[in-house]
Structure 1
Amino acid sequence: MIDIVLVVAGLAALFAGGEMLVRGAVSAALRLGLSTFVVGVVVVGFGTSMPELLVSVRAALAGTPAIALGNVIGSNIANILLIAGLGITIAPIAAMDRSSRADVTVMALVGLAAAALLFLETIGRLVGLGLLTLLALYLFNAVRAGSSAGATAEPAPAERAGDRPLVIAAFLIAGLVLLFAGAEMLIRGATAIARDLGISEAVIGLTIVAVGTSLPELATTLIAAIRKQGAVAIGNVIGSNIFNILGILGITALVAPIPGAGVLKPGDALVLVAATIVFAAILARGRRIGRIWGLVLLGSYAAYTAWLFST
């Protein structure tokens, strides 16, 4: 019972912390005049990935590499199949602007690279440093490009409510504190439950932990979809997936090298590759993305989850 309480409390803290961090980050970004797509990819996408970062680093340091790696890979799969699927099902998305396809391409290449890393004996510090270098180059190019793609819609008044510097700072600090606390509780509870039920730590990382740390992405994407802000909704998923691999996996490997081969099943790498390629192809078509695609993505995630628990 205590372990369940820890998991629930950890998820709640991660969700609340992610929301606060994103609100503060978006307010700061809007003050700097960044476009909504850049806000979606860089600020919201990366900000909502903070729970994954803290959980993966904490798991690696705690000696549970399956949770650390499963969290990163599982979050990317959940972002595409579950979160993007829900967003598209609720509100079909207009065709992506051509200038945003570079970000889609980066997401696809990063996803393929992540699948390849799963077959390394050890994802060490040198790999981590390389991933972080690529992330720095991507960020530099994204910020330099400014409003490189997507919607140019003016932010809603509610998104400007926290523009005062002190309010922004308060949200950023409170968000980080809750994220740290939530990561600690979630790792402790999830690890104990996995051992008690005989479920592998890899499956726990790919499902409960991955979806739990993706709650900020889920909330952000759903809100953006309901508001018809497709660029922010999809930009959030794209940015989060890029940061999960280059940033989270990079920092985790740099802090505590983790084993690659044998930790997750080859099927997990295959699902990551398939989901990434299909999602990128859907976005690159330059056509309206209808509800049928959302339902296809959701059905695929349900099938993947069922497969995980049946094997």
Structure 2
Amino acid sequence: MTYLLFVVGLVALFFGGEYLVRGASAVARHFRLSPMVIGLTIVGFGTSAPELLVSVQAALAGQPAIAIGNVLGSNIANILLILGTSATIAALLIPARQLWRDLAFMLAATGAIWVMLLDGTVTRAEGGILFAGLIVFLATAFLTGKTEEEEADLGDIPQWKAWGMTLGGLVVLVIGARLLVDSATEIARAYGISEAVIGLTIVAVGTSLPELATSVIAAIRKQTEIAVGNVVGSNIFNIFGILGLTALITPIPADPRFAAIDMPWVAGTAIGLTILAFVLGGLPRIAGILLLAAYGGYVFLMG
């Protein structure tokens, strides 16, 4: 039965990602927004829904290690695993001028949560600061994300169908990811793996499966801006939105290992992506291979 659920989850991820990318591209053109803005917001935030559910439920259940580990591990997986896989399939080359604002928000979010973790607790006040950062990011993205492209060239996808494909794809992605996460987590617990490691690896990768499916399919369809925007937007939402909202609900105690061991990885991957974007103009295939190798090293060390 477990293997059947695994296969069903994979199929759901593939078709959900396909419909999400096609629908989101059409929505962007309807509203004359750049695909990057749609990737950063609707796609990036939507594919982070599993992380939101897992973190809030974990915090309320008194399992803060999973709540924080899930977000930090997901941000690492998003850059090293998801962008690495996507860039290996098709080079993700985007001019740095299209990314600087969003990468700056990602770096700011990373720095903010690192400082907050140093004293061992993310308080309600700090959660409010993080959530305010999300509002500022959204306002900035939409105010500066208009494009001069005409509303034409939409093919046979009317607006109502584009939204239906986008939202339907998100729902299918979340269901597929949930099937995989539940089974993988139970297996890991049976082998005695700690909750912190489960959050940083299995749960983080599992809840990142919507991002993986979406970015890979976007890369295959040459929708580079959606592939990259999905990951950057998801990383921003994970910190500002998920940890911000979770801390507003209940303060989150943090194990010292997160600030000492895991945050250097989170910050290193965010800074590395920023450097690659400005030096290489994106991620060529060789960069994708290096990111995947780095993720393999990370998983090995965490194990």
TM-score interval w.r.t. the shorter chain? 0.7 to 0.9
Q: Does 1:104 align with 2:112?
A: no
Alignment of structure 1 residues 130-145 onto 2, 5 Å: 130-145=129-144
CA contact 1:65–1:263 (8 Å) conserved in 2: no
Q: Give the drift of 1:71.
A: 1.0
Change (3 A) 1:68 1:21: farther
- Cα deviation digits, residues 69-103 of structure 1 (max 9, x gap): 11100110001111111111221233424142111
1:177 to 1:35, Cα distance in 2 relative to 1, 3 A: closer
2-structure distance, mates of 1:7, 1:62: 26
For residues 246 and 190 of structure 2, what CA distance do their matches in structure 1 show?
26
Are the counterparts in 2 of residues 104 and 284 from structure 1 also a CA contact under 8 Å? no
Aligned to 2:32: 33
- The answer for the alignment partner of 2:125 in structure 1 is 126
SS in 2 for 1:264: helix
CA-CA distance at 1:193 after TM superposition: 4.0
TM value normalised by structure 1: 0.82
| In 1: Cα distance, 2:74 partner to 2:164 partner | 28
Letter in 1 for 2:204: A
| Contact 1:17–1:175 under 8 Å retained in 2 | yes
Deviations 1:189-216 (A, max 9, x none): 5664444321111111111111111111
Residue 292 (1) aligns with residue 280 (2): no
Q: In structure 1, how many angstroms separate the alpha carbons of the residues matched to 2:152 and 2:54?
A: 32
Instruction: Note if contact 1:18-1:47 (Cα within 8 Å) is conserved in structure 2.
Output: no
Aligned-partner Cα distance in 1 for 2:69–2:8: 21
- Is 1:47 matched with 2:42? no
Q: Secondary structure at the match of 2:258?
A: coil
Identity, in percent, stands at 48
What root-mean-square deviation, in Å, do the aligned CA atoms of Structure 1 and Structure 2 show? 3.3
Is 1:217 the equivalent of 2:211?
A: yes
Matched, 1:64 2:58: no
Change in CA separation of 1:33 and 1:153 when aligned onto 2, cut-off 3 Å: closer
Q: Does the 8 Å CA contact 1:52/1:244 hold for their aligned counterparts?
A: yes
Question: What is the aligned partner in structure 1 of residue 93 from structure 2?
Answer: 94
What is the CA-CA distance between 1:121 and the residue it aligns to? 2.1
Cα pair 2:130 2:239 within 8 Å, conserved: yes
Indicate if the aligned counterparts of 1:58 and 1:187 stay in contact, CA closer than 8 A. no
CA distance 1:105–1:166, change in 2 (3 Å): closer
The 3-state SS of whatever aligns with 1:198 is coil
Is it true that 1:79 corresponds to 2:73 in the alignment? no
Deviations 1:113-165 (A, max 9, x none): 233333232212211111111110111011000247xxx999998x8665342
Which moved further from structure 2: 215-224 or 262-271? Answer: 262-271
Structure 1 position 168 matched with structure 2 position 167 = no
Q: Which amino acid aligns with 2:135?
A: A
Q: Distance in 1 between matches of 2:221 and 2:21?
A: 17
Aligned equivalents of 2:137 and 2:67: distance in 1? 24
Q: List aligned pairs for 1:275-286, cutoff 5 A.
A: 275-285=269-279
Aligned pair count reads: 303
Per the TM alignment, residue 251 of structure 1 is displaced from its structure 2 partner at its CA by: 1.2
Unaligned runs of 5+ residues in structure 1 are none
Alignment match of 1:248 (pick from 242, 247, 257) = 242
For 1:98, the aligned partner's letter is R
- In the aligned structure 1, how far is the partner of 2:64 from the partner of 2:7? 22
Cα distance change, pair 12–255 in 1 and its aligned pair in 2 (3 A): farther
Distance in 2, matches of 1:59 and 1:18, equals: 26
Q: Report the CA distance shift for 1:170/1:277 in structure 2 as closer, same or farther (over 3 A).
A: closer
Report how far residue 177 of structure 1 moved.
Answer: 8.5
Deviation (angstroms), 1:220: 1.5
Change (3 A) 1:136 1:200: same
In 1: Cα distance, 2:77 partner to 2:282 partner? 22
Decide whether aligned partners of structure 1 residues 15 and 93 sit closer, same or farther in structure 2, where only a CA change above 3 A counts: closer
> Are the structure 2 counterparts of residues 18 and 205 from structure 1 closer, same or farther at C-alpha, using a change threshold of 3 Å?
farther
Partner of 1:203: 197
Note the 1:141-152 alignment, pairs <5 A. 141-147=140-146
Deviation, 1:292, is 1.8
The partner residue of 2:223 within 223, 229, 235 is 229
Tell me the distance in 1 between the aligned counterparts of 2:61 and 2:177.
12
Segments of 5+ residues of structure 2 without an aligned counterpart are: none
Q: Distance in 1 between matches of 2:165 and 2:289?
A: 39
TM-superposition CA deviations, 1:251-291 (whole Å, max 9, x none): 11112321123363722111111111111111122535322
